[in-house]
């Protein structure tokens, strides 16, 4: 890749159209509000222009902001942009030619933009009189020349969906009819001509394949799968067009693209269709009314990529190149040559749209398994025999390996290395990341290399909505701990076409192979929420529990609820009711002998929010471990933490009676429905990023009043005494003591997360992704709400740092060094077998993976540890002591002889 | 001087442009004018830093791309207060706050998060210069003799190293005196001193070499037949025999 420029994530960075020139390209973004030109050579900007005014009121009309960008066919250096009520022209040299405003009303919408050699023509729909006003503006200075109107039968929304513009034609589909409206191009000719093409059934789509000043090709697709291609030729010295149908046989799912080249006589037309794992191409030359020289190509794809979503065919220096975007987000470039088609580029662009991440431990190696088996027996004798037999087998395998090394040498080294990559290492540092992308492609990624192990594409995939984001539940059905059984993971998603249907796919995370027994596409109920059972049922597998729209709970696969959930610990479930903005808590009563596989939920509490909207919730990581129940203070007394595992953080947004926007943060106990913490922040802007762990919460927001990013940290404590030493219950009458502090952040925040370690002994670090591309590791001690304003010796004894409002970020704490990552949406942290080490995986537009050591590497040797010096000095000491002993004895005997 | 005049000229042209854009009054009341932030990234000649540079206005609300000469333009911005930061993995640039008032007048000032109201004006159009490079790496700790010596646990060893020669000299003198006088009290003190310097731990902790000789070397010499011992062992033994012979000779 030569260069890459990342635009804004908001509306302003959304690209409307790119116009390609020889040396640079003009990119129109922000719904026709900005034009910038970038050089191909180095990606640097040549010029940038933007509209000089904008509307204050966000458009709440049904027709969203609409923008049309056209390159003037008669003057290719001029670009006309129509953005809602603004019409402006720029030249490819970066000169703003003119800019005018065309007033719009709710009944008057600017819809079409056409251009001729003298005029820029805007078609605006007046829905009061059902007339299309066609206004002519001078191409030179934007002065309105004249206007006319013609009757129009579509409403504004339909007009946008069903109509296209081409040269001076407006093409509109009306059920089985295509209307071709010719807009006159000169002032002396004012009559609008309309002609019709009949199709056999309802027209679904009109696409313009090729457009030039004298010739155009369009495609009409009907809903019965019939596709027709029409060729338009301009009549000499008039503004009218002749058209004729091209005789081409097409499959219903095929795509068409047309390329021209100076060397080619006429245009080449490419028809492409995807068929399972195969792409078929037919290239022909358009010759008057028929196609000649048809050549067929086909290329085998490495995996199933679904249908074609976008196709572009181009001839560059006599090389025929086809660029495709597939349904699974893959970018393909295929070269067509005389000896057949060849796939020259394949990129999985889906990886930039990850929405769910889970990690799986790798499988145990055979020797590790044997060790597991060795300690598996019961009874003295069986354990003894197991031990002996396993040790004998270890010895045998060792000799076999030696023999293999001598006979084969390093020949099958590659194979062994590849095998070793899939086997758990000594400290369980390497894992498999399972990522689900929003297009429905699931990847298995090895962490040590970043290599993609397997991919699976689910074509009818649609994610669930989760507050203001999308979400796909991904579960460990069976973990890698049961080495005798393969591990299993499940994803739950909705059907793309009928959103009430829920699909469950279960697969082996090492290979991606689907487990068909646990895969279904039809659940007889509408799913509201899904979660995993607390207990394994058959063969160490957990089951999925679904709450349907009638608040009934089901299991999949069907097993009695008493087996899936613990009968000794009561089960509470909370749901969110979006229409009432309320959290509702339910109690699930399970009888031990009950064999029911589904039951109704009983409501026990309800927390509703008035005048504020819940925008997000945040739960703690399931792997969160609390090692110590309290903090030892400077005077040797203990401050006990309030570690309630049932807490969730709720973020709400609203506007108070003084019209001041506010954001509220609550900590809600999901068992009792009691609110343990509530903070109000006025003049604060979301997004609010939250980390909830142990007994503390850290969240960040943007303070509009002081125009800075801030973080608030709160800790909950039980106090000097602990209510119950052994277990925690939400029903215990504990009022947590809350301590809070706010801090100023030096950068904005895209995502935050806390490091996770196996036992939770290691201190915590906060990993923060910033918009400027850094991943920063900040010790939680800097966010500690107990940082004192003036430091007493007792605080120093405890190791507290004095409070400073700003959190200083050192470049040494940037964990991605020179590899900046942009538009990070989430960070995933996992524990490893080493207590000091936590794995960090940041995903978004870019992916980044590393290991962090929040308390330094206290359980490892440094990687530059000099084994040779230690080894040799030990040997030297042993030898030296022997020699010294000898000398000493000689000395002794000599002394004795004296 | 020339450059300064040029800058002034540029600035006047610029203000001309911005005022002209604001002076074209919006036709309806719900129109708000948009302005442009301009500036330049100054970098040493010959260094190709522009490739990785992004100009972030308010942490990515608007993003600018530099031109070949380092100048940049971020357009389409309504009036307000923005933080403009130049961002590159290889260089550090100080951010600047740019205030655009409703009439389109632009001023730049230093970013101060703790006191947002404080005004320390800066030059506009903005000029970003990098004086430092980010240091992402901690210096690896290396073995340093001074470090080892300054370690408190090393102190007794240093003391011992210094004191042993002194004591040896002292002992020599004592011995000489002993030879001359053969005084029993001095012998006694010498013995005590000797014990103090080289305490005889053998009573409590058997010397590891002694232990090895008696248990490994000694025992095998008696019990195990010679063919069971390994080569090295027998060699050692032979050596020992030789040495013993030498000694007896």
* CA atoms in the 13 A half-sphere facing the CB of A300: 1
Q: What pLDDT does residue A376 have?
A: 61
Q: Strand, helix or coil at A92?
A: coil
Residue A708 to chain B, least CA–CA distance (Å): 7
Average of pLDDT values for A825-854?
Answer: 93
Residue B80 sits at the chain A interface (C-beta within 8 Å): no
CB–CB of A6 and B63 under 8 A?
yes
Whole-number Cα distances in Å, A515 to A423, A477, A480, A518: 22, 11, 16, 6
A404 and A323 in a single domain? The answer is: no
- Contact between A692 and A618 under an 8 Å Cβ cutoff? The reply is yes
CB–CB of A53 and B54 under 8 A?
no
Residues on chain A touching B68 (C-beta within 8 angstroms): 42, 44
Q: Give the closest of A36, A706, A811 to B134, CB-based.
A: A811
A275 and A332 in a single domain? The answer is: yes
Q: Give the closest of B51, B59, B138 to A748, CB-based.
A: B59
Q: Strand, helix or coil at A62?
A: coil
Query: Largest Cα–Cα distance of chain A, in whole Å?
Result: 139
Measured CA to CA, the distance from residue A329 to residue A35 in angstroms comes to 27
Q: What pLDDT does residue A779 have?
A: 93
* CA atoms in the 13 A half-sphere facing the CB of A210: 23
Last residue of a domain, one of A395, A421, A447: A421
Chain A from 24 to 63: CB within 8 A of any B CB = 30, 33-34, 36, 38, 42-57
CB–CB of A805 and B114 under 8 A?
yes
pLDDT band at B97 (very low <50, low <70, confident <90, very high): very high
Residues on chain B touching A52 (C-beta within 8 angstroms): 21, 24, 33-34
Most confident among A480-484, A619-623, B197-201 (mean pLDDT): A619-623
| Range from A137-151, A654-668, A835-849, B95-109 carrying the lowest mean pLDDT | A137-151
Q: What pLDDT does residue B249 have?
A: 47
Has residue A110 been placed in a domain?
A: no
How many CB atoms neighbour CB A226 within 10 A? 15
Residues on chain A touching B137 (C-beta within 8 angstroms): 812, 817
pLDDT 10s digits, A499-517: 788 889 999 988 888 888 8
Has residue A371 been placed in a domain?
A: yes
User: Cα angle vertex A217, ends A154, A239, to 5°?
Assistant: 70
Is the pLDDT score of A367 beyond 70? no
pTM > 0.95: yes or no: no
* Greater pLDDT, A156 or A101: A101
Q: What pLDDT does residue A151 have?
A: 81
ipTM above 0.95 for this complex:
no
Token reading at A563? 């087996």
Q: Is there a cis peptide before residue A692, judged by omega within 30 degrees of 0?
A: no
Residue B15 sits at the chain A interface (C-beta within 8 Å): no
Is the pLDDT score of A211 beyond 70? yes
Residue A631 sits at the chain B interface (C-beta within 8 Å): no
pLDDT band at A754 (very low <50, low <70, confident <90, very high): very high
Residue B26 sits at the chain A interface (C-beta within 8 Å): yes
Measured CA to CA, the distance from residue B30 to residue A480 in angstroms comes to 61
CB–CB of A101 and B27 under 8 A?
yes
Q: What pLDDT does residue A63 have?
A: 45
- Contact between A466 and A455 under an 8 Å Cβ cutoff? The reply is no
CA torsion sign for B114, B117, B118, B124 is positive
Has residue A725 been placed in a domain?
A: no
Is the pLDDT score of A325 beyond 60? yes
Mean pLDDT, chain A, whole residue set: 85
Residues on chain A touching B60 (C-beta within 8 angstroms): 8-9, 748, 771-772
CB–CB of B76 and A772 under 8 A?
no
Q: What is the DSSP letter of A60?
A: -
Q: Which of A395, A415, A501, A400 is nearest to A458 (CA)?
A: A501
Is the pLDDT score of A803 beyond 50? yes
Q: What pLDDT does residue A410 have?
A: 59
Chain A from 229 to 258: CB within 8 A of any B CB = none
A373 and A409 in a single domain? The answer is: yes
Q: What pLDDT does residue B6 have?
A: 41
Has residue A853 been placed in a domain?
A: no
Q: What pLDDT does residue B14 have?
A: 40
* Greater pLDDT, A65 or A608: A608
| Range from A323-332, A639-648, B60-69, B110-119 carrying the lowest mean pLDDT | B110-119
Among A45, A100, A683, pick the best mutation site for testing chain B contact (most B Cβ within 10 A): A45
Structural domain of A890: 866-897
Total domains in the fold of chain A = 3
Q: Is A647 left (phi over 0), alpha (psi -120 to 50) or beta?
A: beta
Most confident among A57-71, A115-129, A176-190, A240-254 (mean pLDDT): A115-129
CB–CB of B136 and A893 under 8 A?
no
Q: Strand, helix or coil at B15?
A: helix
Has residue A264 been placed in a domain?
A: yes
CB–CB of A45 and B67 under 8 A?
yes
Q: Give the closest of A33, A771, A893 to B60, CB-based.
A: A771
| Range from A186-195, A291-300, A439-448, A461-470 carrying the lowest mean pLDDT | A186-195
Contacts of B33 by beta carbon, 8 Å cutoff, 6+ apart: A52, A53, B21, B22, B26, B78, B79, B104
pLDDT band at A412 (very low <50, low <70, confident <90, very high): low
Residue B71 to chain A, least CA–CA distance (Å): 10
Among A103, A771, A815, A819, pick the best mutation site for testing chain B contact (most B Cβ within 10 A): A771
Residues on chain B touching A812 (C-beta within 8 angstroms): 135-138
pLDDT 10s digits, A774-800: 999 999 999 999 999 998 888 888 889
Contacts of A90 by beta carbon, 8 Å cutoff, 6+ apart: A26, A35, A49, A78, A79, A81, A96, A97
Has residue A742 been placed in a domain?
A: no
* CA atoms in the 13 A half-sphere facing the CB of A424: 18
A313 and A385 in a single domain? The answer is: no
Is the pLDDT score of A406 beyond 80? no
pLDDT band at A451 (very low <50, low <70, confident <90, very high): confident
Has residue A414 been placed in a domain?
A: yes
Is the pLDDT score of B232 beyond 70? no
pLDDT 10s digits, A737-753: 999 999 999 999 999 99
pLDDT band at A416 (very low <50, low <70, confident <90, very high): low
Q: What pLDDT does residue B202 have?
A: 52
| Range from A44-58, A354-368, A594-608, A686-700 carrying the lowest mean pLDDT | A44-58
Each domain of chain B, given as residue ranges in start order, spans 31-132, 159-222
CB–CB of B59 and A103 under 8 A?
no
CB–CB of B24 and A8 under 8 A?
no
Measured CA to CA, the distance from residue B74 to residue B77 in angstroms comes to 8
Size of interface A-B (CB pairs under 8 A): 136
- Cα-trace Rg, chain B: 42
A337 and A395 in a single domain? The answer is: no
Residues on chain A touching B26 (C-beta within 8 angstroms): 53
Q: What pLDDT does residue B158 have?
A: 83
Average of pLDDT values for A583-600?
Answer: 81
Average of pLDDT values for A467-472?
Answer: 87
Has residue A502 been placed in a domain?
A: no
CB–CB of B76 and A818 under 8 A?
no
pLDDT band at B228 (very low <50, low <70, confident <90, very high): very low
In chain A, the residue whose alpha carbon lies closest to the alpha carbon of B74 is A48
Torsion of CA A23, A214, A212, A262, to 10 degrees: -50
CB–CB of B59 and A709 under 8 A?
yes
Token reading at A626? 């609390």
Burial class, B184, CB count within 10 angstroms (exposed 0-12 / middle 13-18 / buried 19+): exposed
* Greater pLDDT, B18 or A25: A25
Q: Strand, helix or coil at A883?
A: helix
* Greater pLDDT, B218 or A780: A780
Chain B from 52 to 71: CB within 8 A of any A CB = 52, 54, 56, 59-68
Q: B31-132 in CATH: which number?
A: 2.60.40
Average of pLDDT values for A111-119?
Answer: 84
pLDDT band at A377 (very low <50, low <70, confident <90, very high): low
A343 and A252 in a single domain? The answer is: yes
Q: What pLDDT does residue A373 have?
A: 67
Residues on chain B touching A811 (C-beta within 8 angstroms): 92, 134-136
Q: Give the closest of B51, B90, B247 to A818, CB-based.
A: B90
- Contact between A825 and A835 under an 8 Å Cβ cutoff? The reply is no
How many CB atoms neighbour CB A78 within 10 A? 20
Q: Give the closest of A6, A771, A818 to B59, CB-based.
A: A771
Last residue of a domain, one of A289, A321, A348: A348
pLDDT band at A59 (very low <50, low <70, confident <90, very high): very low
Q: Give the closest of A42, A56, A881 to B209, CB-based.
A: A881
């Amino acid at each position: 890749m030569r260069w890459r420029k990342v635009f804004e994530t908001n509306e302003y960075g959304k690209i409307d159209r790119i116009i390609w020139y020889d040396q640079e390209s003009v990119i129109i973004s922000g719904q026709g509000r900005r034009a910038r030109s970038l050089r191909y050579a180095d990606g640097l900007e040549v010029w940038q222009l933007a509209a000089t005014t904008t509307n204050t009121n966000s458009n709440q009309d049904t027709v969203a902001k609409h923008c049309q960008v056209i390159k003037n066919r008669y003057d290719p250096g001029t670009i006309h942009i129509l953005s809602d009520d603004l019409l402006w022209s720029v030249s490819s040299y970066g000169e703003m030619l003119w800019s005018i405003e065309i007033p719009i009303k709710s009944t008057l919408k600017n819809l079409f933009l056409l251009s001729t050699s003298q005029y820029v023509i805007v078609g605006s729909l007046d829905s009061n009189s059902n007339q299309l006003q066609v206004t002519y503006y001078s191409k030179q200075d934007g002065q309105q020349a004249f206007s006319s109107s013609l009757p129009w039968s579509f409403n504004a929304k339909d007009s946008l969906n069903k109509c296209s513009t081409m040269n001076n034609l407006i093409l509109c589909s009306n059920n089985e009819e295509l209307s071709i409206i010719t807009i006159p191009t000169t002032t002396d000719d004012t009559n609008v001509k309309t002609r019709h093409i009949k199709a056999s059934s309802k027209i679904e789509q009109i696409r313009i394949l090729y457009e030039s000043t004298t010739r155009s090709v369009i495609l009409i697709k009907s809903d019965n799968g019939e596709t027709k291609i029409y060729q338009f030729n301009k009549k000499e010295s008039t503004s009218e067009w002749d058209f004729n149908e091209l005789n081409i046989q097409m499959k219903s799912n095929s795509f068409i693209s047309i390329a021209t080249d100076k060397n080619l006589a006429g245009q080449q037309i490419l028809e492409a269709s995807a068929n399972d794992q195969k792409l078929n191409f037919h290239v022909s030359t358009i010759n008057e009314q028929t196609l000649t020289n048809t050549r067929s190509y086909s290329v085998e794809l490495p995996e199933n990529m679904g249908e074609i979503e976008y196709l572009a065919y181009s001839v560059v220096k006599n090389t025929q190149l086809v660029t495709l975007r597939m349904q699974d987000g893959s970018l393909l470039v295929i070269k067509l040559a005389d000896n057949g088609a060849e796939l020259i580029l394949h990129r999985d662009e889906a990886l930039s749209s990850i929405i769910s991440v889970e990690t799986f431990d790798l499988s145990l190696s055979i020797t590790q398994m044997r060790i597991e088996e060795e300690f598996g027996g019961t009874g003295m004798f069986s354990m003894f025999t197991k031990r002996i037999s396993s040790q004998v087998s270890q010895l045998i395998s060792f000799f076999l390996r030696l023999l293999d090394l001598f006979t084969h040498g390093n020949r099958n080294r590659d194979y062994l290395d590849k095998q070793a990559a899939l086997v758990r290492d000594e400290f369980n540092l390497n894992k498999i990341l399972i990522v689900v992308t929003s297009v429905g492609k699931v990847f298995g990624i090895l962490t040590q290399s970043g290599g993609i192990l397997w991919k699976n594409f689910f074509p009818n995939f649609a994610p669930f909505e989760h507050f203001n984001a999308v979400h796909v539940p991904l579960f460990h059905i069976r973990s890698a701990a049961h080495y005798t059984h393969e591990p299993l993971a499940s994803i739950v998603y909705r059907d793309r076409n009928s959103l009430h249907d829920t699909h469950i796919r279960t697969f082996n995370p090492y290979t991606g192979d689907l487990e068909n027994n646990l895969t279904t596409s039809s659940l007889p109920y509408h799913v509201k929420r899904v979660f995993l059972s607390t207990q394994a049922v058959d063969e160490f597998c957990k089951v999925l529990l679904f709450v349907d729209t009638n608040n009934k709970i089901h299991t999949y696969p069907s097993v009695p609820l008493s087996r899936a959930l613990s009968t000794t610990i009561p089960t509470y479930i909370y749901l969110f009711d979006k229409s009432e903005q309320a959290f509702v808590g339910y109690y699930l009563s399970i009888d031990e002998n009950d064999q029911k596989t589904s039951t109704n939920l009983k409501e026990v509490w309800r927390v509703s929010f008035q005048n504020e909207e819940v925008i997000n919730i945040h739960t703690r990581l399931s792997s969160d471990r609390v090692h110590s129940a309290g903090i030892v203070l400077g005077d040797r007394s203990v401050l006990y933490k309030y570690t309630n595992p049932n807490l969730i953080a709720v973020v709400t947004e609203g506007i108070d009676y003084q019209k001041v926007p506010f954001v509220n943060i609550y900590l809600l106990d999901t068992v009792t429905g009691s609110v343990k913490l509530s903070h109000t922040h006025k003049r604060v802007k979301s997004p609010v990023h939250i980390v909830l762990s142990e007994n503390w919460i850290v969240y960040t927001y943007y303070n509009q009043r002081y125009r800075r990013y801030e973080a608030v940290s709160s800790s909950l404590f039980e106090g000097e005494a602990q209510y119950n030493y052994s277990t925690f219950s939400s029903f215990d009458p504990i009022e947590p003591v809350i301590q809070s502090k706010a801090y100023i952040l030096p950068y904005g925040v895209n995502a935050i997360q806390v490091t996770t370690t196996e036992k939770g002994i290691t201190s915590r670090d906060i990993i923060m992704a910033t918009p400027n591309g850094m991943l920063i590791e900040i010790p939680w001690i800097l966010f500690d709400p107990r940082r004192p304003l003036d430091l007493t010796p007792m605080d120093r004894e405890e190791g507290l740092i004095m409070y400073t409002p700003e959190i200083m970020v050192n470049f040494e704490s940037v964990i991605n060094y020179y590899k900046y990552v942009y538009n990070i949406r989430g960070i995933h942290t996992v524990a490893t077998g080493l207590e000091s080490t936590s794995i960090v995986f940041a995903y978004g537009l870019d992916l980044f993976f590393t290991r962090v050591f929040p308390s330094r590497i206290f359980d490892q040797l440094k990687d530059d540890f000099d084994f040779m010096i230690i080894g040799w000095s030990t040997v030297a000491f042993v030898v030296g002591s022997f020699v010294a002993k000898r000398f000493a004895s000689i000395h002794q005997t000599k002394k004795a002889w004296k | 001087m020339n450059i300064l005049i040029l800058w002034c000229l540029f600035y006047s042209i610029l203000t001309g442009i911005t005022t002209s854009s604001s002076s074209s009054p919006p036709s309806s009341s719900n129109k708000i004018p948009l302005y442009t932030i301009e500036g330049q990234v100054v970098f040493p000649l010959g260094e190709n830093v522009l490739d990785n540079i992004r100009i972030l206005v308010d942490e990515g609300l608007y993003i600018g791309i530099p031109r070949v000469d380092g100048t940049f333009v971020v357009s389409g911005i309504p009036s307000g207060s923005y933080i403009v930061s130049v961002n590159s993995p290889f260089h550090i640039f100080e951010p600047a706050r740019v205030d655009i008032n409703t009439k389109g007048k632009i001023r730049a000032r230093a970013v101060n998060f703790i006191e947002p109201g404080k005004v320390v004006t800066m030059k506009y159009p903005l000029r970003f210069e990098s004086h430092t490079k980010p240091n992402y790496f901690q210096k690896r700790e290396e073995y340093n003799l001074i470090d080892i010596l300054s370690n408190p646990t090393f102190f007794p060893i240093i003391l011992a190293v210094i004191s042993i020669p002194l004591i040896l000299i002292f002992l020599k003198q004592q011995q000489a005196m002993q030879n001359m006088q053969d005084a029993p009290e001095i012998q006694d003190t010498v013995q005590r001193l000797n014990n103090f310097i080289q305490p005889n731990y053998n009573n409590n902790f058997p010397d590891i070499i002694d232990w090895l000789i008696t248990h490994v070397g000694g025992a095998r010499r008696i019990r195990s037949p010679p063919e069971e011992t390994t080569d090295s062992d027998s060699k050692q033994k032979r050596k020992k025999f030789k040495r013993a012979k030498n000694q007896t000779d």
